[in-house]
A and B are shown apart, each in its own frame.
Chain A
Amino acid sequence: MILYLGKRVLAVAGVLLVICAVTFTIFYVLPTDPAVHACGKTCSSEQIALVRQEMGLDRPIHEQFAAYVSGIAAGRDGCAFPCFGYSYQNSLPVWDLLTDRMAVSVSLALGAALLWLTVGVLIGVASALRKGSALDRTLMAGTLASASVPVYFTAMILLLVLVQYLEFLPYPDYRPLTEDPVGWATNLLLPWVTLASLYAAMYARQTRSSMIETMGQPYIRTARAKGLHERTVVTKHGMRSALTPIVTIFGMDLGGLLAGAVITEHVFGLPGIGQLTYDAIFKADQPVMLGVTLLAAFFITVANLVVDLVYAGIDPRVRYA
């Protein structure tokens, strides 16, 4: 088990290193000069040359890359560990920018994930148990429609109806959980619902098909035949097995969202990592883009690892040597 974990952690580090190298090379090879963007349009060519030197852009790429990677691992001169470079546009280290906004994106992702997982699984199980009924058909038509609605549409409709016309909720404005828990929840409610409506639909469909397949297995018949309560059959025998594939996609989806839901954050104006990414695109803030890409890759690969470990806990057939 420890050996397995060690191997997997090494593999994660390897994947991150390759992603870092690829991203780095792309930014290096493409014909945009980070120094020009960092310095601003009014800079003279001498100033740009100075910035280039300061950013290390005059050195060969492998040296720059080595400096970048060792900076992440151990810090560099004037840039504390973990050093992801410096955003000249924001006049802040990239790591500080990321950590400042992390709470928003994590709040958004976790809240939405809780919502979509609950709603999606409930709908899926209810549909599967009454397969072919009017309830099943209504729920499935609803989820199909909901999965096809673009996120921006959900967001703008919710804002228009609940915020502008009915004045039922405030325009989302992030409040830290530790300072104002009620404000945190009421302000994040719309973004949560927006994100969750998309994912819940996909989860409901996935749960339904997985549940239908499981409930047709012989061991379910056995469980019923030995006189178990139907609720026990459904929850302990049916759902436990049917939900294992859900764990995989849940891990990947959550991992993908932790580093910022770009569209949702942009529409609602939430100051998370997604919004940071959006701003970085327009300001060609390459150190920030690089940092965000790595952070996102980190969350995805780690989420995959966690999923595999969790699997061993819920599926007794899976054992790691």
Chain B
Amino acid sequence: MATTPSTRSGRSPGRIAFDRLKRDPAALFGASIVAVFVAVALGAPLLTALSGWDVQTFDKSAIDRSLGGVPYGDLGGIGAEHWLGVEPGTGRDVFARIVYGARVSLLISVAATAVTVVAGTVIGLVAGYVGGRTDTILCRVMDLVMSFPSLIFMLALLSVAPDANRVLLLIAIMSMFSWPYVGRIVRGQALSLKHQEFVDAARVGGGRAAHILFKEMLPNITGPILVYTTLAIPANIGTEAALSFLGVGVRPPTPSWGQMLDDSLKWYQVVPSYFIVPSVCLFLTVLAFTLLGDALRDALDPRGTNA
């Protein structure tokens, strides 16, 4: 009679982590909020078609022009017509600006994270594997970039940069200052991997450097990279919002959450809902990604007990 293998045996580390995640309520909560915001961002045109108001239409009937544009109604004009109220002063629909703002926020933060992680991983792998002078130089560069006052420097760069493609510019500038953080992690891992037998074997077997780096070593360090990625996204969402809040992010009329918050600073005493809505969205996305990242780190931790 053939022995049926126990379900526990032969699971890959990735499978173990995934099974742990599925049973972690915090991870599920985080993942579902992330899914909602991604869906909102992707389905933005659909949602605004449903709500009946697009991003740019000024609804003069929703604001009281004799009071400088304060929305009619108690909660900043929240009601059946405008689901999340209207923008004071202009009467633009807040719901529409939120859903399109989610696009900008997520696109920029995810893209910036992707660029950061790819650049950091490649540079970190090369520094750790090649070693010697290459390693010294790359480490010096990383130290240097990390000692830049990043927020102030980003402000300076963005304020003088030409207004060509603001989204691309933000992605480039945001990743420019964060890749060394990935680079450091990956370099450390690469250093400890490069003298292991399987790497030696690949080298002796005549594997090219690119093959050893990306086919042999990289699969062994996806865990830490994945955790870093999940935790870098909320940080980048915060940075993008901060830059837009300080007036150097995406340019109007492109909506972004940070920009709405910047505008709401003028109105917070009269129309509190106008700053609460984008703040709550920022809070929820940042919280959700953080929960997911934390859960992922615990799930990938080989010392974890609840396998």
Contacts and interface: CB of A to CB of B under 8 A. Distances in A.
Contact of B287 (A19, A148, A156, A278): A148
Contacts of B272: 156, 160
Contact of A159 (B155, B234, B268): B268
B201 interface: no
B218 interface: no
Contact of B156 (A18, A150, A267, A293): A293
Nearest to A255: B149
A92 to B, nearest CB: 19
Contact of A262 (B144, B152, B161, B162): B152
B144 A15 contact: yes
Contacts of A304: 147
B162 A31 contact: yes
B195 to A, nearest CB: 25
Contact of B241 (A145, A150, A292): A150
A144 B247 contact: no
Contacts of A147: 290
Interface stretch (B57-65, B111-119, B209-217, B275-283): B275-283
B283 A281 contact: no
A52 interface: no
Nearest to A282: B247
B168 interface: no
B261 interface: yes
Contact of B144 (A18, A256, A260): A18
B305 to A, nearest CB: 13
A263 B156 contact: no
B246 A293 contact: no
Contacts of B245: 152, 263
B269 A160 contact: yes
Interface string B242-270: 10011110000000000001001100110
B247 A281 contact: yes
A30 B265 contact: no
A125 B23 CA distance: 28
Nearest to B157: A26
B246 A266 contact: yes
B238 interface: yes
B222 interface: no
Interface stretch (A183-191, A222-230, A295-303): A295-303
Contacts of B291: 144
Given A31-B162, A160-B269, A277-B155, A148 B286 contact: yes
B248 A152 contact: no
B283 A27 contact: no
Contacts of B261: 150, 152-153
Nearest to B143: A15
A148 B275 contact: no
B198 interface: no
B153 A27 contact: no
Given A27-B160, A148-B234, A289-B159, A259 B152 contact: yes
B155 A297 contact: no
Nearest to A266: B246
Interface in A280-310: 281-282, 284, 286, 289-290, 292-293, 296-297, 299-301, 304
Nearest to A161: B272
B256 to A, nearest CB: 13
Nearest to A286: B160
A164 interface: yes
A241 interface: no
Contact of B160 (A30, A256, A259): A30
Contacts of A289: 155-156, 159-160
A281 B149 contact: no
A5 interface: no
Interface in B140-199: 143-144, 147-149, 151-153, 155-157, 159-162
Nearest to A159: B268
Contacts of B264: 156
A73 interface: no
A301 B160 contact: no
Nearest to B265: A267
Interface in A136-161: 144-145, 147-153, 156, 159-160
Contacts of A277: 152, 155
A248 interface: no
B125 to A, nearest CB: 25
A15 B160 contact: no
Interface string A202-238: 0000000000000000000000000000000000000
A32 interface: yes
Contact of B265 (A32, A156, A296): A156
A23 interface: yes
6 nearest interchain CB pairs?
A: A296-B149, A153-B279, A148-B287, A281-B159, A148-B286, A289-B156
Given A145-B287, A156-B275, 5 more contacts: A31-B162, A148-B283, A150-B279, A150-B282, A284-B160
14 contacts: A144-B290, A145-B287, A148-B286, A152-B275, A153-B279, A156-B264, A156-B272, A156-B275, A256-B149, A262-B246, A263-B246, A281-B247, A282-B247, A290-B156
